[in-house]
Structure formats: C-alpha cells, structure tokens
Structure 1
Amino acid sequence: MIKSMTGYGMGEFSNEHFKFKVEIKAVNHRYSDISVKLPRHINYLEEIIKKNIKGRISRGKVDVYINLEYINESAVDVKIDTPLAKSYKEALSNLLIELNMDENIRLNNILSIPDVVRTERKELDQDMVWEVLSKALNLALDNIMIMKETEGKALRMDMLNKIDNIEGFVQKIEDRAPVVVLDYKAKLKERIKNLLEDNVPIDEDRLSNEVAFFADKSSIDEEIVRLYSHIKQFRSILDEDDSVGRKVDFLIQEFNREINTIGSKANDIVISKYVVDLKSELEKIREQIQNIE
C-alpha cells in the first residue's frame, strides 16, 4: 500500500502516576531521519522509541515530541536543609542587631533563600514509564499512519492516471514509427528524382538498401517494448504492501532513459512532440514520488 511521507499523529495515555502526550510530525525526506525530543531524565528511552517508529515508518523526516506530566505528587520529594535555614536565621538576627533594626524575620524570608528548599524527582520505575509511554506512542503512530495511508491512496490514483497517459503516448509513438520509414523513403525518392535527369532511372536496389539502413538506425522497437514493460512494473509496484518509494524512483529513471533514446533515434517531428508529452507526464510522476514512503 502506498503511504505518503507527510502526516501528523497524536496520542495520550496515563496511569495513576503520570501522563504522556506524544506528537509525531513527518515530512518527505530521501532517507529515514528521526528526531526525538523528550524530558532529559528519560533520555534512556530515545533509542527504543526510534526503533518502534522505524518499525512503522521506513522513510521521511520524523519529529517526535514527548511531554510527561506527573499526576501523583508522591513522584516528587521536597527536602528542606534545616541546618542551612538555622544558619541563615542566626546570621540575619545578628545583622539586625548590628544595624540596630527592629524587624521580625519571617519564614518566607528563609524559604526564599537558594538551596534551603529543594525538590528532587523520585527514581522512576523504568518498566512502568515505558509501559505508559509505549501506549501513547502507538496511538500517535496509529493516527499518523491513517493520515499517511489516506494521502497515499490519493497519490496512487493520481500516478495511475498519469501512467495511463504515458501508455497512450507510447501507443501513438508505436503507431507512428512505421510511417516514419515510409515517409523517409518517399522523400528520399523524390529528392533523388529531382537530382537526376528525367531519362536516368532510379536504382531501386540502392534505394531499398538506404531505406533499410535508415529503418535499422532509427528503429525504436526495443525501447517501446521496454516502456510497456516498465508501465506494467509500475502498476504492479503500486499494489505492493511494502514501501515502494525507492522502487518507483528507480523505475522512473529507466523510463526516462528509454524516452530519451526514442527522442534521439526517431528523427520525426511528430514523435518528438510525443516525447515532450511523455517527459511532461514523467516529471509530474517524479514530483509525486518525492512524497511517497
């Protein structure tokens, strides 16, 4: 199934301790490039997150944003440095005496001093963290895959329409090819007749040899056969379940090679026009391929 490289998916999951929100954004890219942004104290999960994403998304630039919200206050320890607080209180009291000031020292004066109150995050149960995060991650992946597959269906239909157009132009070139040789023979015969005197006969054997040489030199039968084969392969690849982006990208290069050969060998203005039409349709397909996984 064709999948677009662009998409967005979001997933949330929580337990009694914390809640994870995962957002995944993907855009087209030649290779697989995954970037994960998550809280620093769970950085150890980055590689397993990437591994899970690679199992679902084979190509494209993927940005993953992970937010962790603590639900249970017991996940954080609050610690007060009592000796430090006493030292500050004593120092402030002495300062008031030295300055001969009649003021009271309040608790908030002490608590606002750096390092008197510290918050420390309790050590997390790594298995529990991954259990919750993986569920949020899979929900986000499910959602982004829905979007990628929906857009992929539209891309597939568009490319099939364009490959139908290409097949039509190839058929026109195939029909035109024999006429090119007949036109060449008629024009050559007329040219020779104009050059010779009226009473000098045309050497039909030499004329036939010259026409045969031209027909062999300008033959595009092999290129047409290969183009039909490429068209059949293209349609078959679009029906595959695996990632097809690189396959069709390579096949388009083969299309282009055969079309260029036809353009250089045909030596006919009508076929040259069809070659231009073929290249135009091929370029449209190439642009679409840049968006499929």
Structure 2
Amino acid sequence: MPAAEQSVPFRWDLITPDQLGTLLGGTNPPDLWFLDDLVACAGKVIARSGNGNLVFVGRSLDSMFDLLGGALADTRDERAPRRLPLSFQRPGAWTGRQWRPRSLTAAERAQARRVLTTAGVTPHGLARAQRAVTFVDVVDRGSTFTELFDLLSSWIDDEREPWPVIRRKLRFVGVTSRTKTSPNTYRWQHHAAWTRHLPARAVTNVSLHPIVWSYFGDHQTKLTRSFRPDQWLAEVPGPERDEQTRQALAQAAALVAYGRSRAGRHTLARAIGREPALAQPWLRTLVTELNS
C-alpha cells in the first residue's frame, strides 16, 4: 500500500515556487474575470470560519486556496490554508429514489485517514488543538461533507478520543450557488442529519455568484487529477504539463501573487470588514495584519 504522500496527486507549491522552472514561459496573461467575486467570498469564508484552520476539500476551490495562501503567507499565527484533495465520487446504485454509493473498503478508509493525517487532521490532534479545523468546499447537496464527517466520526470512535471536546473543534463552511432567498429555499445542512451533532454555528454557508460557482465546480482546468476512492491506493503519475495545465498554472500563480500584493491584502481585509464577525478580537487582529 503506497504512503499517502505517494498517492496524493502532485500539486506545485506556489507560495515558494522553486519547482516551476520554465513552466510559465510563453503562457498568456491569465484572465482573472472572477477575482472580485472570489475575494468577496474568501473574506466571508474567513470571517465565518470561527477562527479555525482552513482546510479546502477536493479541488473545486483551489483558486480560493491559492488566493488565501498568498494573502495569509506572512501572518504571525500560522493560519496558512491546507488542502485535503479527497474526492468521494464512486460507483453505486439506486435504492428506491435515493442514490447510494458503494461502501468504502477497509483499505480505502485506512488510506483516507493517512491523507487526513498529512493535512494535519487526526482525532488526537483535534482533541488537543487550541484552534478548530474548518473544512471548506463548494456544496450542492452536501454529500462530500457528509462522507467526510462519517469518516472522521468512525475514526474518532476507533481512537476513543473525547467527542464532546472534538465536536467543538470541527466547522464546515459550504460555498453555495447564490439564489433568491425565501422560506422555501433549499438549505443542504437542514437535510443532513449529522449537522445536529455539532454546535449550531459550526455549519454555515457563503454564497457565490452562480456563474463563478459553476466555473470553479464544473469547468475550470485544475492542476491536479481528481482523487477518487479507486485511486487512493494507487501510485499517482506526475503532473500534466500540457498547454491547458500550464495556462491553469499561470492563473494559479497570478492568484497567489495577487493575494501577496498590498492591493490584494487590503481588498481581502475590506471584504472581511463587512462581516459582523469583525467584532471578534481574532478577526480584528487579522484585518490589522492584512492592512499593515
């Protein structure tokens, strides 16, 4: 069985980009047409994170990971975001009117735990951490968060770590497609039974313009391959280096650079400053750092 580091798809480190070499040579200047919406959404994600360490699930919000990776790179309290590249998509069958994916095998569950460990998430660590872990992903029906919670819950039980303590260290922020709100608006967390096991404010949403949401979730060229359960136990080949991937790399690098720039940090600080959570000392401190 390959170690988690061998099976997780490779992604370039764009904060200290020594690996890029000449990969960006000849690429076109990227069109960051979504930047305003992305920064506004990222500011809300931070403000609603409950001061947790951000962990981006899957690949859909890689652009937010890159933007915040640049903006938060030099903050004093080491709140740089992390990636958890797991995808839970796999074959299944219809049971009545409900789609049920096949169960994860014991080997797949063990490997998923190893991948979580490389992202700094373990039951032992959660029980003793001073700061919560906040998982972030695009959400439609919430199936990925449901799978992730079930995986963590069974692991916590197996390790016999204290659930009453850990439940206060878990947060989930879903980035949803913006719609007109009404009493009949579908809210995924109201249909996910597991959310009742967490404090009321531990599961929250941030909306994003539907065109931008669809671009990130369905159409954007990603730097890594999808990492589904059938691939968790295999050694993953190296990264693609075709023209589309190189152009996606240029886009990702530009987002990191914008996040690190004075203008990018100030714009992010303004987005955070519009949130009611600014009354909390940790968030005011972060805004001051971004503006300094």
> Is this a same-fold pair by TM over 0.5?
no
TM-score using structure 1 length = 0.20
TM-score using structure 2 length = 0.20
Q: Which has the larger radius of gyration?
A: 1
RCO greater where, 1 or 2, for CA within 8 Å and sep 6 or more?
A: 2
